[in-house]
Amino acid sequence: MPNIESIVRNINRDLVPQFEEKLRAYLATQDKDWLIEQIVRLTLDVHSLEEMDRQHFREEETRKREQRMQRVKNLNLNMDVLNDFLAKYKKIKREELIAQGLLKTEAPPKGTDMIVEQFRSVEGNELLQHAKDILFALLFGDKSLNVVFNRTQRELLTLTMPRLKSEPLNFMKATTELNARGTWQDPNGAANDMRADNIIMEIEYGEVEGEHIGDGIVTALRVINNLEINEEILYGRMTDIEQSTLISQKIMKIQ
Supply the pLDDT for residue 170: 84
Host H or E run for residue 179 = strand 176-181
Residues 220-247 have a mean pLDDT of 88
Residue 64's pLDDT is: 86
SS3 of the chain: helix, strand, coil, percent, to 5: 55, 15, 30
Q: What is the pLDDT of residue 13?
A: 74
Burial of 245 (0-12, 13-18, 19+ CB in 10 A): exposed
pLDDT (tens digit per residue) in 165-179: 988 888 775 455 555
pLDDT, residue 49, reads: 65
pLDDT averaged over every residue in the chain: 85
Cα distance between residue 117 and residue 220, in whole Å: 18
Report whether 195 contacts 99 (CB < 8 A): no
Write down the H helix ranges in 76-203.
79-89, 94-99, 122-140
Q: How far apart are CA 248 and CA 126, in angstroms?
A: 35
CA distance linking residue 151 with residue 140, whole number of Å: 12
Q: pTM score, two decimals?
A: 0.72
Q: Who contacts 188 (Cβ-Cβ below 8 Å, separation ≥6)?
A: none
Residue 181 host element (H or E): strand 176-181
Q: What kind and span of H or E run contains 36?
A: helix 32-43
E-assigned strand segments in the chain: 153-162, 176-181, 197-207, 234-240, 249-254
Is the pLDDT at 146 greater than 90? The verdict is yes
pLDDT of residue 221: 97
| Domain range list for the chain | 76-254
The two beta strands, 197-207 and 153-162, are antiparallel
Q: Residue-wise over 210-219: b if at least 16 C-beta within 10 A, else e?
A: eebbbbbbbb
